[in-house]
Copies of this chain bind each other. A is one copy, B any other.
Amino acid sequence: MVIVMAHNATEADIKAVVKRIETLGFRAHLSRGEERTIIGIIGDERRLAGVALEALPGVEAVLPILQPFKLASRIMREEGTVIRIGDVTIGGDTIQVMAGPCAVESREQLLRTAEEVRKAGARILRGGAYKPRTSPYAFQGLEEKGLEILAEAREMFGLLVVTEVMDPRTVPLVAQYADIIQVGARNMQNFFLLRELGKVDRPILLKRGLSATIEEWLMAAEYILSHGNPNVILCERGIRSFETYTRNTLDLSAVPIVKHLSHLPIVVDPSHGLGKWRFVTPMARAAIAAGADGLLVEVHPSPAEALCDGAQSLTPENFHKMIQEIEKVAAAVGRRI
């Protein structure tokens, strides 16, 4: 951490800062420039999270030097993490496609989708059982009944199940049914939920918050990791920008950046990222080319009748075509579906 003193800071101000640093158990290192004095803090600055050195007289700015995340950092673990669930790996050479409807609407709808998804080669089925949405007047999900249907689909088609949890109270229940537990974008910084998920024996798919920086996202992962669960899969799903033509702005640059800063696997959700089915396949190709470890894609047997996110759902036919296209791109970057 580097403290920049104001141009008119006094010697007494500087001494007071040094003293405060030493009181906190760190060493201070002064560097007097032509216009400013700066003070380096020697020690693990993560222990200073939340300490307000800016509030001391004469301090102009406090610049962090170290990454605030530790367990999520690639420095801690040079090779990438590969998560294994049975014979499925996430983060290895094989790219995993997680596909299914936004919400479980009925047994028929889910089983039909699961069958199509399996036929196209996907190994992981997605589907929401808890679906409170922006409007309290919209469909809110089948809740436990939805989880049961997902479990049935798993048995019938040999798929793994990923589904979202939103409430710390239902974590044990969801963990009974899910192979991977999803944290939605709106809950990326729901810290009490993250703590519970740190104690669960299931990999967590952690979606990026709507306006979360990559650092904040990795800090959310750090919450889960530091509470004991080492298996976090990051999921880029679009950020909020000024653009109104699409639902979100899919930030594919997050893929190589996360790969550089962290050892955790990362997948991409082009369905939420764009919000329009027409653009899902080209962005799925691009995600794979950027280095993503997998995709999360919405598929619905009849998008126009979906109770949730129909506009961004692929038909089974379009999903098959998408798989064919990404297989070629995966091969071009030395991977396979």
A residues apposed to B, CB below 8 Å: 2, 4, 7, 20, 29, 31-36, 38, 40-44, 46-47, 49-56, 61, 63, 65-66, 68, 75, 132-139, 166-169, 186-187, 189-192, 195, 209-211, 213-216, 219, 222-223, 226-227, 239-246, 249-253, 255-257, 260, 273-274, 276-279, 282-283, 285-291, 303-311, 313, 325, 328-329, 331-333
Cross-chain contact A167 with B192 (CB below 8 angstroms): yes
Chain B, Cβ-Cβ closest to A241: B241
* Residues of B with C-beta under 8 A to A303: 52, 55
Cross-chain contact A219 with B135 (CB below 8 angstroms): yes
Cross-chain contact B213 with A243 (CB below 8 angstroms): yes
* Residues of B with C-beta under 8 A to A308: 50
Selected from B47, B65, B279, the residue in CB contact (under 8 A) with A36 is: B65
Given A2-B38, A52-B311, A286-B290, 18 further pairs, Cβ under 8 A: A7-B75, A49-B137, A52-B313, A55-B303, A55-B304, A134-B219, A136-B226, A213-B244, A245-B257, A246-B257, A252-B283, A253-B274, A282-B291, A285-B290, A286-B286, A286-B289, A328-B332, A329-B329
Selected from B137, B190, B242, the residue in CB contact (under 8 A) with A166 is: B190
* Residues of B with C-beta under 8 A to A190: 166, 186-187, 190
* Residues of B with C-beta under 8 A to A286: 252, 255, 286-287, 289-290
The CA of A66 and the CA of B223, in the complex, are separated in Å by: 35
The CA of A43 and the CA of B36, in the complex, are separated in Å by: 10
Cross-chain contact B310 with A55 (CB below 8 angstroms): yes
Cross-chain contact A40 with B35 (CB below 8 angstroms): no
Closest Cβ of chain B to A304, distance in Å, is 4
* Residues of B with C-beta under 8 A to A192: 132, 166-167, 169
* Residues of B with C-beta under 8 A to A287: 286
The CA of A50 and the CA of B140, in the complex, are separated in Å by: 10
Selected from B63, B288, B306, the residue in CB contact (under 8 A) with A289 is: B288
Given known pairs A34-B44, A307-B50, the reply for A251 and B244 (CB within 8 Å) is no
